[in-house]
Amino acid sequence: MKILVAGRSGQVAQSLAAISTPDRQFVTLGRPELDICDPASVEAAIRAHQPAALINAAAYTAVDKAESEPEAAFAANETGPRVLATAAHQAGFPILHISTDYVFAGDKDGFYTEDDPVDPQSVYGRSKLAGERAVAEANPNHVILRTAWVFSPYGNNFVKTMLRLAADRDTVRVVSDQWGSPTYAPDIAEGLSRVLDKALASPTNPSWRGIFHMTSQGTCTWADFAEEIFRQSAERGGPSAKVERITTAGYPTPAKRPANSRLANGKVEAVFGFGLPAWRDAASAGIQALA
Ligand SMILES: NC(=O)C1=CN([C@@H]2O[C@H](COP(=O)(O)OP(=O)(O)OC[C@H]3O[C@@H](n4cnc5c(N)ncnc54)[C@H](O)[C@@H]3O)[C@@H](O)[C@H]2O)C=CC1
């Protein structure tokens, strides 16, 4: 069985490609042959591969750059998901779509559930929220999985940045007033595959449709995450640095980040019967893969 994955070079797309088996082949496609904003290229990919489902792992993820490029962000994060969901609906199969903690304002005291009101504070967050709505409108057969703080052996991410910085400095300044769950893209890929099991086995069951939160277990600040990365890296003889804890105000960025990105995972556990590993175990797997 083939599963079409939009986005070939991204962290989640490459993690899906890595767990392909002869029984479940994740066919990852990206530009130029598959542009999610171009209906003709999406329809051609579906005709060529005859997949059983579609996963959208493509997105515009440059959070700060999005503030000055809203059209590009909305094209990839709203138009593209609508094109994919429409094509999947016409072909009669489900779409799994990935979204983000940035749909929330980040000012809640406690974990965000799927029922909490959204209130994105950045262009990226607004474009991702528009994408969630576009997918839900275009294809009732959808699962939208919101995740956060993604890292992996692939592409650019926080773990790689910390290890690179530690290679040539003693101290790294990291914000310590934003909370979330560092989530390992290979764990997201396993989670998507578990979701697919149910979605494909009982395609008419409405309980698996809708929005779900899926992050690592446990929460921390970016500074905590950096300290754990350096502790584990040092244990393996890799680069390490001291973390200087700073506030968000001390590290101004064009896009506002949610102070609280803690997502409650109870719904995905109840409906799909799994949870992702704890973030420290995820960090360990990531550092081992990079070593
Ligand atoms: N990176 C993170 O920390 C987080 C990511 N997410 C979401 O997770 C999903 C996967 O993220 P990552 O794997 O980290 O993203 P990534 O930035 O590593 O990969 C995105 C991929 O999409 C491709 N792409 C962009 N526009 C395209 C188009 N028009 N046609 C085809 N491909 C296109 C890019 O070339 C890139 O390969 C995204 O939906 C993202 O919004 C959610 C929360 C946090």
Domains of the chain: 2-156+183-215+262-277 (3.40.50.720)
Ligand 1: centre distance to CA 171 (Å):
30
Whether 204 shows a pLDDT value over 90: the answer reads no
Nearest atom in ligand 1 to the alpha carbon of residue 155 is 18
Q: Which of 4, 61, 145 to mutate to test the pocket of ligand 1 (most atoms within 8 A of CB)?
A: 61
Segment 57-61 mean pLDDT: 98
Segment 102-122 mean pLDDT: 97
Residue 206: predicted pLDDT:
86
Q: Among residues of the chain, what percentage have pLDDT more than 90?
A: 95
Terminal Cα-to-Cα distance of the chain (whole angstroms): 33
Segment 234-251 mean pLDDT: 94
Whether 251 shows a pLDDT value over 90: the answer reads no
Beta carbon of 265 within 6 Å of any ligand 1 atom: no
Ligand 1: centre distance to CA 84 (Å):
14
Residue 1: predicted pLDDT:
94
Q: What is the pLDDT of residues 61-96, one digit of tens each?
A: 999 999 999 999 999 999 999 999 999 999 999 999
Whose Cα sits closest to atom 5 in ligand 1?
A: 150
Q: Among residues of the chain, what percentage have pLDDT more than 70?
A: 100
Q: Which of 150, 211, 262, 263 to mutate to test the pocket of ligand 1 (most atoms within 8 A of CB)?
A: 150
Interface predicted TM-score (ipTM) over 0.90: yes
Q: What is the mean pLDDT of the chain?
A: 96
Whether 200 shows a pLDDT value over 80: the answer reads yes
Q: How confident is the model at residue 241 (pLDDT cuts 50, 70, 90)?
A: very high
Beta carbon of 145 within 6 Å of any ligand 1 atom: no
Beta bridge partners of 96: 55, 143
Whether 40 shows a pLDDT value over 80: the answer reads yes
Residue 143: predicted pLDDT:
97
- 17 within 8 A of 51, measured Cβ to Cβ: no
Q: Note the Cα 5 to chain centre separation in Å.
A: 14
Beta carbon of 7 within 6 Å of any ligand 1 atom: yes
Whether 199 shows a pLDDT value over 80: the answer reads yes
Residue 203: predicted pLDDT:
79
Residue 205: predicted pLDDT:
86
Describe the crossing of helices 185-201 and 11-18 by its angle, rounded to 10 degrees: 70
Whose Cα sits closest to atom 15 in ligand 1?
A: 10
What are the CA-CA distances from residue 234 to residues 13, 88, 165, 220, 230 (Å)?
29, 46, 14, 20, 6
Alpha carbon distance 18, 191 (integer Å): 14
pTM of the model: 0.97
Nearest atom in ligand 1 to the alpha carbon of residue 61 is 17
Here the tokens at position 244 are: 């200087």
From the list 102, 112, 124, 154, the catalytic residue is: 124
Segment 14-31 mean pLDDT: 97
Beta carbon of 148 within 6 Å of any ligand 1 atom: yes
Whether 291 shows a pLDDT value over 80: the answer reads no
| Residue 251 annotated among the catalytic residues of the structure | no
